[in-house]
Structure 1
Amino acid sequence: MRVTQSMLASNSLRNLSNSYSNMGKYQDQLATGKKINRPSDDPVVAIKGMFYRTNLTEVEQYKRNLNEAYQWMESSEQGIEHVTKVTQRIRELLVQGQNGTNTPEGLKAIAVEIGQLKEDIAGVANTQVAGRYIFNGTMTDVKPVAVNADGSFTHEMNTEPINVEVSKGVQLKVNVNPTKVFDTDFFNTLQAIEDGLNSGSLEGSDLLSKLDGHFEKISAERSEIGARYNRLEMIDARLQDQEIIASRILSENEDAHIERVISDLTIQESIHRASLAVGSKVIQPTLIDFLR
């Protein structure tokens, strides 16, 4: 086959164009830190990257859900802890009022304090977090305990669970059953204690045993939310491990090895200079050069 001058020039220009393309690829990798900048660069890497990134996005969303669950549980646990302390104080006052050594004025003073503690418990029942009542099930826009003009309480409590998806296919209840902490019988017992102290007729009553029964229910609910909180922490630790693994796999799939890219770019630059030097010798001769 006869090799002409135009063939040599065309091949030289094509090779120079390929060299520019390779240099551009390495420069893009060096600038972005990624192996590919478009799916056509490597479809396999691009498809794997879509799956890995989806996995990482799911983990990040579950972590945001965890923050919501932490907010609900910590606020609920703090509220129940406060009610526990207040109930213990009411029990102390009840025992003090039943010892038979108090004057009628002293009993009324104890009744006043218990009345204030009762209203404090009602305030805890109406705790709001981000504008939502956390002790009213799914009816987060309705106040569970309303104080009437005569000082009595009206209860409108919802016991539906609020579940948050904290992992793939795993939902965790984040609220408590308000009827086990702020039920009507509890407030009726507190009202009976207050009325008994005002009237001075506490002897022989079973109010102390009733109060202890409510205290046991409150403690049981606190233990339950504590157990769920421990499980939430374990799920959180597992999600953190999954996030680290997913980030590492995504990095291994898409991130460029900078040292190798720099080395390849340096080699390609040397090849390109050599191609330019050779191309200048091939393309330089013209018909006038042969006629000289």
Structure 2
Amino acid sequence: MIRITNNMLVNDLMRNLNNNYRMMDKYQRQLATGRKLNMPSDNPAGLVKSLRLRTNIVENEQYLANINEAINFMETTDSALDNITQILHRVRELTVKAANGTNDPGAHQAIADEVKELNEQIKLIANTTYGTKHVFGGRNVTEPPCQGNSWQGNDEYLELEIGVGITIPINITNRDMNYFFTDHNGKEGIFTLLDNLVNDIRDGKLSQISAALSKIDDKMGDMLTARSVIGAKTNRLELQKSRLESTGISFTGLLAANEDADLAEVIMQLKMQENVYRASLAAGARIIQPSLVDFLR
């Protein structure tokens, strides 16, 4: 038969009290922080899952930031294209007016002067920036693409990542716009077209003025095509943004389920551990009986 000593009873009592106190501390910490994962030892597997979910959430937020940046960039581009389209409508009106054979030289001069100013305005719009980036310069975003009659932009794309391994070009190049700004393969760019139109109006060359109408219509068609491309990309980005927002909500919910404590359950467990701890103290008081030393004092 195993002999039970008083020291054995005391050691068992202290071990059980420490265990009860540790459990009570655990639930007090969960109640204070609102989290059931406060240390790696709480749940190592759960901690790994939380780290993965947090990584997914951070990546998701970065993709959303990229999409918002891309949408703002495209909206700036579309606004510039809209301004150019309005100018082309005005140029066409003036061209129709100039093609009328009843105009005197003074009227032709006034029309030519306005067309010239509209051409300068298009050059200004060609250097539109989003922040510090020139939207029509291709990848050469730091230098104005239109410098006088020289075009310094290129036909390379600015790309942003909007998903894992998914990139999208956010700019539209001069090539995408059917070489709207520059001369190409015998086709006049808008600047050359309007410069020639100004000279023809001043000289009263009605046949050349009338011929310019179809060229202006072609340029307006190029603007419509470019704006449709921007619109299609913007719609795609909006869809991707909606998907990422839904995914972000899902990841956040999974993270909360993995980390957050059920406060009602925590309070119940804490009260239970407090009762257990009090019962342990009461039992200990009965176990630790007075010894002979207590009577000899």
TM-score w.r.t. length of structure 1: 0.94
Q: 1:15-70 deviations in whole A, cap 9, x for unaligned?
A: 11111111111011111111111111111111111111111111111011112111
What is aligned with 2:161? 165
What is aligned with 1:183? 182
Work out the CA distance in 1 between the residues paired with 2:7 and 2:191: 101
In the TM superposition, residue 204 of structure 1 has moved relative to its aligned partner by: 4.6
What is aligned with 1:261? 266
What is the one-letter code of the residue matched to 1:189?
A: L
Work out the CA distance in 1 between the residues paired with 2:133 and 2:6: 83
**Residue 108 of structure 2 corresponds to residue 118 of structure 1:** no
What is aligned with 1:283? 288
In the TM superposition, residue 196 of structure 1 has moved relative to its aligned partner by: 1.3
What is the one-letter code of the residue matched to 2:194?
A: L
* Alpha-carbon contact 2:182-2:191 (below 8 Å) kept: yes
Q: 1:80-107 deviations in whole A, cap 9, x for unaligned?
A: 1111111111111111111222211111
Question: In angstroms, what is the RMSD of aligned CA positions?
Answer: 1.5
SS in 1 for 2:77: helix
SS in 2 for 1:224: helix
Query: Mapping of 1:72-83 within 5 angstroms?
Result: 72-83=73-84
**Residue 223 of structure 2 corresponds to residue 218 of structure 1:** yes
**Residue 209 of structure 2 corresponds to residue 236 of structure 1:** no
Match of 2:206 among 180, 184, 202: 202
SS in 2 for 1:140: coil
What is aligned with 1:86? 87
Work out the CA distance in 2 between the residues paired with 1:73 and 1:201: 40
What is the one-letter code of the residue matched to 1:195?
A: N
Work out the CA distance in 1 between the residues paired with 2:90 and 2:281: 92
Q: Percent identity?
A: 39
SS in 1 for 2:125: helix
Gap regions ≥5 residues in structure 2: 184-188
In the TM superposition, residue 288 of structure 1 has moved relative to its aligned partner by: 2.9
Work out the CA distance in 2 between the residues paired with 1:210 and 1:163: 32
Q: 1:92-132 deviations in whole A, cap 9, x for unaligned?
A: 11111112222111111111111111111111110111211
In the TM superposition, residue 233 of structure 1 has moved relative to its aligned partner by: 0.6
Q: 1:230-270 deviations in whole A, cap 9, x for unaligned?
A: 11111011011100111001111111111100110011111
In the TM superposition, residue 79 of structure 1 has moved relative to its aligned partner by: 0.7
Gap regions ≥5 residues in structure 1: 148-152
In the TM superposition, residue 9 of structure 1 has moved relative to its aligned partner by: 0.9
Work out the CA distance in 1 between the residues paired with 2:131 and 2:290: 81
SS in 1 for 2:270: helix
SS in 2 for 1:178: coil
Work out the CA distance in 2 between the residues paired with 1:114 and 1:204: 15
Q: 1:187-233 deviations in whole A, cap 9, x for unaligned?
A: 11011111111222233541111111111112111111111111111
Match of 1:155 among 139, 151, 158: 151
How many aligned positions are there?
A: 287
Work out the CA distance in 1 between the residues paired with 2:282 and 2:116: 98
What is the one-letter code of the residue matched to 2:195?
A: Q
What is the one-letter code of the residue matched to 2:181?
A: F
More moved, 134-143 vs 178-187: 178-187
Work out the CA distance in 1 between the residues paired with 2:100 and 2:285: 113
* Alpha-carbon contact 2:200-2:208 (below 8 Å) kept: no
